[in-house]
Amino acid sequence: MTTILIIIIVLAVIFDFINGFHDAANSIATIVSTKVLTPFQAVIWAAFFNFVAYFIFKDHEVANTVAKTVNSGSYDLTVVLAGIIAAIIWNLLTWWYGIPSSSSHTLIGGFAGAAIAHSGFDSINWSLNDGISLTILFILLAPIIGMVISVFITLVTIQKKFWLKMTIIVITLASCLIFIKFKKAFEFWGLLTLGVIFIISYIVNYWKGESATRTTNMYKRLQLVSSAVFSLGHGGSDAQKVIGIIGAAMVAQNMIPDVTQIPTWVPLLCYTSIGLGTMSGGWRIVKTMGSRITKVTPLEGVMAETAGAITLFTATNLGAPVSTTHTIAGSIVGVGATKRLSAVRWGITVNLIWAWVLTIPVSALLAAGIYWFLHLFSA
């Protein structure tokens, strides 16, 4: 293992740690803002499920997509190094200013920008199946999917006719289980379990009498479940991106033929790192995600996290490296919009969208500059 590869692995792990505290707000913002857990309890809760994702997401499809952002043979270790340095710089800048940008898109943009500086635009894999076009597509789709799902489940949940509400939930759940072609058994059983938990909770609450206090307490307990599931999706999605970058470096070094052959210690290291990063918090971004977009109640927190989790699991199943930031922000906008459109602070939302749009090109330009500097320095 060469010195530059060791440096890349160390920096990738540092980036993964930064990703954890940069994106911690995505997992804990609503559960903290609704006071279901204290900030300390929330980060421990989220970090635990970030790591548990290691035992669930074994196929590394997202990692493979990230590694294939650049065509094989069109990059070297200097390209990977420049991409990681650029990603770390942009992540720290956006964290410092409290901007919930996408760590995953930062990493992909950095990798692509350095590769373009090295080999030109032909080095980029533009495929919609496993290339950067898939990532760009989900920049648009992830928040929209999260918003649509959160609007739907919120409107169903606040339906006052109990048996109509239960009928819609059962039919929707059954339709998903029957018609969706799950690639992994845990996705089928996970969705079934989540649906059963919600159904049982609603029935018990109905039998006991749906007082305001009892219903609020039910949603506070359900938010522990929704936050845990979202943190699983966050860990499974984001840790894989760093696995993909380390895998790309190993491929360039001819240590492995492709990312599917990556050593076991790499995923274990990445999931541990993102969990520890989440434990370190991300308080600058919590305020934006938890209250500045729209005020969130326990019910709305459950709806936003559930919609976000479903979106993350779906995208990860497709191998799409989506942004957890985009996903949960879209979900929060969705629950806010069900109250009234004015409940959403659209000025804040527009600023977030600008940050999302600029992340990949800015990271790419930054990485290209760093690559040229490193290239001159090495020469």
Is-contact 333 353, C-beta < 8 A? no
Q: Is the pLDDT reported for residue 338 higher than 80?
A: no
Helix (H, G, I), strand (E, B) or coil at 70: strand
- Burial class (CB within 10 angstroms; exposed 0-12, middle 13-18, buried 19+) of 160: exposed
pTM comes to 0.85
Q: What pLDDT does residue 114 have?
A: 94
For residues 310-322, average pLDDT: 84
d(CA 336, CA 300): 8
285: pLDDT strictly greater than 70: no
In percent, the amount of the chain with pLDDT more than 90 equals 32
The pLDDT of residue 129: 80
At residue 293, the pLDDT reads 42
- Give the DSSP letter string of 223-247: HHHHHHHHHHHHHHHHHHHHHHHHH
Answer whether residue 86 shows pLDDT above 80. Answer: yes
CA nearest neighbour of 270 among 319, 237, 296, 295: 237
User: To the nearest whole number, what is the mean pLDDT of the chain?
Assistant: 84
**Is 14 a residue whose pLDDT tops 50?**
yes
Q: How far is CA 235 from CA 22, 198, 321, in A?
A: 13, 23, 12
Q: Which pLDDT value is given to residue 366? A: 95
Query: How much is the pLDDT for 299?
Result: 85
Q: How far is CA 16 from CA 11, 165, 242, 261, 314, in A?
A: 8, 41, 6, 21, 22
Would you call 16 helix, strand, or coil by DSSP? helix
Least confident of 167-176, 180-189, 240-249: 180-189
For 30, residues 6+ apart whose C-beta sits below 8 A from its C-beta are: 223, 227, 289, 290, 296, 300, 301, 304, 305, 328, 332
Predicted confidence at residue 112, as pLDDT, reads 93
Q: How far is CA 86 from CA 16, 90, 121, 198, in A?
A: 14, 6, 18, 43
Nearest by Cα to 10 from 234, 278, 242: 242
Q: What is the pLDDT of residue 295?
A: 60
> Can you say whether the dihedral through the CA atoms of 319, 63, 326, 337 is positive or negative?
positive
pLDDT for 160 equals 86
CA distance 272 to 267: 8
Q: Are the C-beta atoms of residues 235 and 271 closer than 8 Å to each other? A: yes
pLDDT by residue (tens digit) across 18-73?
888 777 666 776 777 777 877 778 888 888 999 999 998 887 888 888 888 898 88
Identify the residue with better confidence: 128 or 200: 200
Whether 81 contacts 8, CB under 8 Å? yes
Say if residue 204 is exposed, middle or buried (CB neighbours under 10 Å; 0-12, 13-18, 19+). Answer: exposed
Identify the pLDDT of residue 178. 92
Sign of CA dihedral 107, 96, 139, 23: positive
pLDDT tens digit sequence for 188-205: 888 999 999 999 999 999
Residue 288 has pLDDT above 50, yes or no: no
DSSP 159: -
CA 367 to mean position of chain CA atoms: 22
Instruction: Specify whether the CB–CB gap between 114 and 363 falls below 8 A.
Output: no
pLDDT-above-70 percentage for the chain: 87
Q: Which of 139-148, 262-271, 273-282, 327-336 has the highest average model confidence (pLDDT)?
A: 262-271
Reported as a pLDDT band with limits 50, 70 and 90, residue 298 is: confident
Rounded Cα distance, 109 and 84, in Å: 10
Give residue limits of the domains in the chain.
3-373
pLDDT for 124 equals 92
The neighbouring-strand residues paired with 70 are 124
Q: What pLDDT, in 10s, does the model give residues 105-126?
A: 888 899 999 999 999 999 999 8
- Which pLDDT does position 345 carry in this prediction? 54
Which DSSP string corresponds to 109-135? HHHHHHHHHHH-GGGB---TTTSHHHH
Asked if residue 289 has pLDDT above 60, the reply is no
